[in-house]
Structure 1
Amino acid sequence: MSTVAAPEDTEVVEEEALAGLRRQAQHLIAELTGPVRRIRLRSGPAVLEVEWHPENATRPDAPATPATAEVPPAARPPAAPSAPGRAAVRAPIVGTFYRSPEPGARPFVAVGDLVRPGQPVAIVEAMKLMNEVTADRAGRVVAILVEDGQAVEYDQPLVELDPA
């Protein structure tokens, strides 16, 4: 005797599979040292594909862009925290930065707060999915480097911590 899953059950299973794939991708991306070129994860019918290109790479099928279309250096995310000895909590994905879990709620952290490893410090929304950003080490928040609601790039510093 075989059972056939109801369409609602199939949707729940696919959503759970996608959530699992997203978590796997976040962990994998966090462990990589360079820009991600392509990640493709599959679980049954669910497929998650992520691809980033280095800033200087161009696709052969893309139209040529004039030199004036380049992003000015001031608009690019800084490569490292500003002060030596400080650590940055970085964006795990390209998306929109939010300091609080919902509009009107208290921010996850403020300047002066002590954080512990694994503590949520922000959310980055990507494709209508809220990705929790957590501190990877303990420290005191010395700067919030991004405005609430601002677009962020992969690996962009979001919060600066003083580990002392």
Structure 2
Amino acid sequence: MTADTTRAGGRTGPDDDDAERVLDWVVRHAARLGEAGAVPLRRIRVSTAALAVDVEWAEAAGAPPAPAPAAPSAEAEPPGTWIRSPMVGTFYRSREPGAPPFVEVGDVVEPGQQIGIVEAMKLMNAVQAEQRGRVSEIAARDGSPVQYDEPLLALVPAD
């Protein structure tokens, strides 16, 4: 690791040690996040590129399911489960230019399977499916900028 990083124009940005300290702080305080909810934590996801922490609690027994978040566009989303961008960046459908896409419409994906990449600040962040399903639509174009929580692709139950 380097002591600091020089940016264009000679300005010095945060060093890797700062990023490690922030990550260490988040890990140390994850237990507090778990205790803050009325139900157990299901997942904590930490992203870099200006740091985003995504916390998800399990649903309480007998509680009605939480309403789905509103779509970022005015158009209604087709039915299915959407895999959304975990951060702001550029979405890529394949590992490198000219390579076959990770998934196509009609493919069945399994939990943990990579479906794309979001590049943020020159870091390539894998986007993975969290559940099994058949790809019914790919909303994000290859090489297009995406926002946090923007729909990337839709999954419908696989036969």
Shorter-chain TM-score: what band?
0.5 to 0.7
For the aligned residue pairs, the C-alpha RMSD in angstroms reads 3.4
Structure 2 CA distance for partners of 1:140 and 1:81, relative to 1, 3 Å: farther
Q: What is the aligned partner in structure 1 of residue 46 from structure 2?
A: 25
> How many residues are paired up?
110
- Given that 2:103 and 2:115 are in contact with CA atoms closer than 8 Å, whether structure 1 keeps it comes out as yes
Give the partner amino acid of 2:104.
Answer: A
Secondary structure of the structure 2 residue equivalent to 1:142: strand
Separation of aligned partners in 2, 1:29 and 1:114 = 29
Q: C-alpha offsets along residues 13-71 of structure 1, whole Å, 9 cap, x if unaligned? A: x48x75x94996239733259xxxxxxxxxxxxxxxxxxxxxxxxxxxxxxxxxxxxxx
> Structure 2 unaligned runs (5+)?
4-15, 27-43, 58-70
- Given that 1:80 and 1:157 are in contact with CA atoms closer than 8 Å, whether structure 2 keeps it comes out as no
Structure 2 CA distance for partners of 1:146 and 1:159, relative to 1, 3 Å: same
Secondary structure of the structure 2 residue equivalent to 1:107: coil
- Given that 1:81 and 1:88 are in contact with CA atoms closer than 8 Å, whether structure 2 keeps it comes out as no
- Given that 2:91 and 2:142 are in contact with CA atoms closer than 8 Å, whether structure 1 keeps it comes out as yes
- Given that 1:91 and 1:157 are in contact with CA atoms closer than 8 Å, whether structure 2 keeps it comes out as yes
Is 1:157 aligned to residue 151 of structure 2? yes
Give the partner amino acid of 1:88.
Answer: W
Is 1:129 aligned to residue 123 of structure 2? yes
Structure 2 CA distance for partners of 1:79 and 1:137, relative to 1, 3 Å: farther
Matches within 5 A, 1:1-164: 10-11=1-2, 14=16, 18=20, 21=23, 25-26=46-47, 29-31=53-55, 77-78=72-73, 82-84=77-79, 86-164=80-158
Secondary structure of the structure 1 residue equivalent to 2:2: helix
- Given that 1:96 and 1:152 are in contact with CA atoms closer than 8 Å, whether structure 2 keeps it comes out as yes
Structure 2 CA distance for partners of 1:132 and 1:102, relative to 1, 3 Å: same
Q: Structure 1: which 4+ aligned runs deviate by more than 2 Å?
A: 20-24, 26-33, 76-81
% identical equivalent positions = 49
Q: TM-score, normalised by structure 1?
A: 0.56
Separation of aligned partners in 2, 1:79 and 1:108 = 28
